Structures are given as structure tokens and as C-alpha cells.
Amino acid sequence: MRFDYKRANPEAAAAMLAFNWYSHETQLDAKLVELIKIHASQINGCAFCLDMHTRDALALGETSRRLHVLAAWEESGMFSEREKAALRLTEAVTRISKRGVPDELYETVRTHFDEREYVDLISVINIINCWNRIAIATGLEPPEQT
């Protein structure tokens, strides 16, 4: 770790924790929230967040088999259409500078999620993208295996 960002700027850390709180309060299934966090972290290359959220998903009862193929979710029949829509949105929002969120993707996601859930999805995606950027920029690494 380059430095302890929480100690360097406790106000910024508190703001992020407040933002993060919402990801635990959504109406979305907790396993789906973890899949979103893991997949965004895969895209962003955040080892710290991948380690944390993989462990969190397993603790919620997610299978290691699905986690092993999450990076190739489109080629797998292990994910529901609802999960696939959320993962497509995760990719689009995480890589928003490439194509934005195309109308056809929005319409697909909306067939599986109502307006409130759509806002929950984009909030969770934005929260994990913020954490990925903090972890990578400050050099956070997964803890040593115990």
C-alpha cells in the first residue's frame, strides 16, 4: 500500500463509506450485488476488491463454480437473463467512455428491473467503480492469506 487513504483524509473516507452504505440497502439480491462488484473489479483489474467481494459472495452462498466463470459469463449458461442484463449494464457503465449505455441495453435491463432497481444497479456499479479506483490509486493489495 502506498499510504493509508483513511488516515490521510478521513473526511473523504467517511464520504465513501456513506456512499458505500447504500449498496447494502438496495432492493437487489445480495448475491447479484456481489456479482456486479466482482465483475466491475475484473474489468478494472482491482485485486483488492476482487479478493474481498469473492469472499463476500461465497459467504452469501454463491458457488465457486459460477465465480470461476464470471469473467466469461456471456459464454456460460450458469447465469439467468436477469443476471446477464445486470452484468451487461455493469460492463457498459464501467466502460462508459466507450459507448455510453445504448438504448437497446437500457431496454433489455428494464425488462428485468423496474426504475428503482435500475437506479440501484447504476448506484452499485458506480460505488464499486469508485472503490476500485481508490484501491488501485492508493496501492491497496489483498491481505496476506491466513
pLDDT band at 18 (very low <50, low <70, confident <90, very high): very high
CB neighbour list of residue 27: distance below 8 Å, 6 or more residues apart: 116, 117, 120
Q: Do residues 12 and 5 lie in contact, with contact meaning Cβ atoms separated by under 8 Å?
A: yes
Residue 51, C-alpha cell as written in the block: 479478493
Q: How far apart are CA 55 and CA 67, in angstroms?
A: 10
- Per residue in 92-117, pLDDT tens? 999 999 999 999 999 999 999 999 99
- pTM attached to this predicted model: 0.94
The percentage of the chain sitting over the pLDDT mark of 70, rounded to a whole number, equals 99
Enumerate domains of the chain plus CATH numbers.
Answer: 5-138 (1.20.1290.10)
Is the pLDDT score of 146 beyond 90?
A: no
